[in-house]
Chains A and B, each alone.
Chain A
Amino acid sequence: EDKVVQSPLSLVVHEGDTVTLNCSYEVTNFRSLLWYKQEKKAPTFLFMLTSSGIEKKSGRLSSILDKKELFSILNITATQTGDSAVYLCAGTLNRDDKIIFGKGTRLHILP
């Protein structure tokens, strides 16, 4: 069964800290890995990763994929209270581009 597992499920840190969110996957015919940020309502797209070892970066956020270990991390440096959200990881199957989500990591940044 295809699955995506995220850890930790929740995390509380102080503003300015750096956090690393983990995502492991067991997806048949893996095509890509997606990261989303979900605040109140709709998940918003952050990154899509298809190749191992190539870091994607957007401001204070960065992500990398390890296709050998079936693993990805999302790093957030110099966290701000606005980073508080649920971060979702998802795997895309090569067959039919079905997208499978993990349960998410709930991140709370204390001021």
Chain B
Amino acid sequence: DTGVSQDPRHKITKRGQNVTFRCDPISEHNRLYWYRQTLGQGPEFLTYFQNEAQLEKSRLLSDRFSAERPKGSFSTLEIQRTEQGDSAMYLCASSLITNRPNTEAFFGQGTRLTVV
């Protein structure tokens, strides 16, 4: 399978614990996005990377959230001191950005986080 891969698929954690999610994009893709989705809502933008550079982080994200893409390939999203409101599906997507407007992004299966 050469699509976007996310790990783990499900995570249950106690409030106050730290969690880390991993995303492996499609191999030649230089752009990587993180989104959060709750029930009945569309994906909410969290952050995105061009290669290893983080371009923007949503103002909605507290300082408890951090993301990295150290070598421009896989990315990690860490949530520190989790709260119940962090329970959501965390989606990763990747795309190949060129000079042409072919910016469709391909999504992974997501990591469903439940904070108890």
Residues on A with C-beta less than 8 A from B43 are 43, 88, 101
Q: Which of B44, B93, B104, B107 has a CB less than 8 Å from the CB of A48?
A: B104
**Segment with Cβ contacts to A, from B13-21, B65-73, B80-88, B95-103:** B95-103
| Cβ contact within 8 Å between A98 and B107 | no
Query: Would you call A24 an interface residue if the criterion is a C-beta within 8 Å of the partner chain's C-beta atoms?
Result: no
| Cβ contact within 8 Å between B107 and A97 | no
Closest to A34 in B: B104
Within 8 A of A (CB), among B5-51: 31, 33, 35, 40-45, 48, 50
| Cβ contact within 8 Å between A45 and B42 | no
Q: Give the interface size class of chain B.
A: 20 to 34
| Cβ contact within 8 Å between B42 and A88 | yes
Residues on B with C-beta less than 8 A from A50 are 101
**A69 → B minimal CB distance (Å):** 20
Within 8 A of B (CB), among A29-55: 31-32, 34, 36, 41-45, 48, 50
Query: Would you call B113 an interface residue if the criterion is a C-beta within 8 Å of the partner chain's C-beta atoms?
Result: no
Closest to B56 in A: A98
**A39 → B minimal CB distance (Å):** 11
Query: Would you call A79 an interface residue if the criterion is a C-beta within 8 Å of the partner chain's C-beta atoms?
Result: no
Q: Which of A32, A36, A88 has a CB less than 8 Å from the CB of B101?
A: A32
Give A contacts to B, CB under 8 Å: 4, 6, 31-32, 34, 36, 41-45, 48, 50, 88, 90, 92, 96-104, 106
